[in-house]
Structure 1
């Protein structure tokens, strides 16, 4: 048997992650280990190769020339393994379909509609992974992704699902405490729930030509799903994407406070590799979700 003297796989994974992030801590977070474990794996790899792959500067790391030369081959090897695994693991028209979505889209839009997809395609087991970062389709084992952005994903096929139009909503319990607003100006007196930058209501009022709204008060959240929960709990009026509020409005958990929508530049997109376009599982999910969005 030929001995290729390959380094440990875990050490290669740590190297690729640390090289991508240029951060031991971020690599550790991704791999679900401690920073010291990543450092030890990198040291093991460097001893195996007999060269330094990183320069440590303060709290950061930078690739040496040897590291820069080694990275493309390691990254390409992982991609080839992932793609070969994808081809071997399941038949193309049955089994598991893995979809990566943002947490807010999953909870507010996708999950309430999954019964419909499963009734139409009982042969497909949908696996939903949540995350806000970009997806490496060849490495992460993801078939499709839904992302909030401008739709510019080089090397990938992206299709717009729907634009994001922010509308003001509140829980019925909160709305009962105030007179029904007759114009946008009336909403300046309501308690507000904000995004983490506290700019959402300011921009919405500004779009209506209202400048004098005072300093932003009330709770703020860095997660849209938490913001929506706070609105549903009656903690303040909030601005949420119209498409995400359809079910809550229809079932009376929210009330719409004005018929004025503020359009964002961003939209929700269905994203996939070009190589997956002819796979029956992918085609089935694409047709279903585009149909849902078109009929909303």
Structure 2
């Protein structure tokens, strides 16, 4: 990379922020002459005038104003990265980002076992569904739901594609409109997440007609969707990974035999240069172990 000296960039940023060589010098604990010398050297290195020197002040040229944003962004990125590295070395904590629904329904119920096995290792869990910028965010490892194609990142399959199937509260099986066959869904509220197409696809695969796949309650989080189903507010399409604990505990029951194969899976993702990081190695190996534990695999269709 073709870069000017870091000290000259720091001097330029400070002088541009204050529009004063003297104030920049106070901030950097050097003399005004040293700041002037650093900026002159930077201008010569670039072959571009960055400041206009007036009698008692300085102002940025148009090019200097444009260059200031790039320099400021670069210094902030360098500062943030340095702080993250120092904090990581000092605290030893691992920051994990994952989807809110996966955190609540799969990861959180298992973290107590991690604490028992690794009591000296701290984990910070961040529930988020936005794309992680490892260069700017204090995140070590993410778990995401997708196709596994994450350019320039190390990606490993954690859990295979979900199956989708109707689930509801056991209380709904005892009501005036028992759910004995898929056609009985016409008498019940359908619960949706943001992917409303899922119910349409499931009904088509089950060859069910007369049920409006677009009506019902919609939630923007799969965890809330399953909570509503447990409370008897309707019938949801449960994802196998997220619903398995509640099925095994009897809080939900699986309806019918028809399952719809999902097209996404859960992946562990982190920067490739971190593959030998001890904390990441420990946590990813534990995740793989937990992925093999079956809490009861899906409860059978109720009689």
TM-score range, shorter chain: 0.7 to 0.9
The reply on whether 1:6 has 2:13 as its aligned counterpart is yes
Q: Which residue of 91, 100, 105 maps to 1:103?
A: 100
Q: Shift in Å at residue 79 of structure 1?
A: 4.0
Mapping of 1:206-285 within 5 angstroms? 206-214=204-212, 216-285=214-283
Q: Is the 8 A contact 2:179 2:185 kept in 1?
A: no
Q: Residue 154 of structure 2 aligns with which residue? A: 157
SS of the aligned residue for 2:279 comes to: helix
1:49-105 Cα shifts (integer Å, max 9, x gaps): 55499xxxxxxxxxx9x48x955x65554443333333322339x731100011111
Distance in 1, Cα, partners of 2:281 & 2:213: 48
Distance in 2, Cα, partners of 1:119 & 1:157: 28
1:84-129 Cα shifts (integer Å, max 9, x gaps): 333322339x731100011111111111111011111111111011
Distance in 2, Cα, partners of 1:197 & 1:291: 30
The reply on whether 1:142 has 2:149 as its aligned counterpart is no
1:157-212 Cα shifts (integer Å, max 9, x gaps): 1112222221211011222214342x433334332111235332111111223344
Q: Residue 287 of structure 1 aligns with which residue? A: 285
SS of the aligned residue for 1:123 comes to: coil
Q: Is the 8 A contact 1:95 1:123 kept in 2?
A: no
Q: Is the 8 A contact 1:196 1:221 kept in 2?
A: yes
Q: Residue 170 of structure 1 aligns with which residue? A: 168
Q: CA 1:233 to 1:242, structure 2 compared with 1: closer, same or farther past 3 Å?
A: same
Q: Shift in Å at residue 295 of structure 1?
A: 3.0
Q: Residue 198 of structure 1 aligns with which residue? A: 196
SS of the aligned residue for 2:119 comes to: coil
TM norm structure 1: 0.73
Q: Residue 115 of structure 2 aligns with which residue? A: 118
The reply on whether 1:179 has 2:186 as its aligned counterpart is no
CA RMSD of aligned residues (A): 3.0
Q: CA 1:75 to 1:166, structure 2 compared with 1: closer, same or farther past 3 Å?
A: farther
- Structure 2, unmatched stretches of 5+, are 1-6, 18-57, 295-303
Q: Residue 4 of structure 2 aligns with which residue? A: none
The structure having more radius of gyration, on CA atoms, is 2
Distance in 2, Cα, partners of 1:276 & 1:156: 10
Count of equivalent residues: 244
Q: Which residue of 87, 101, 113 maps to 1:89?
A: 87
TM norm structure 2: 0.71
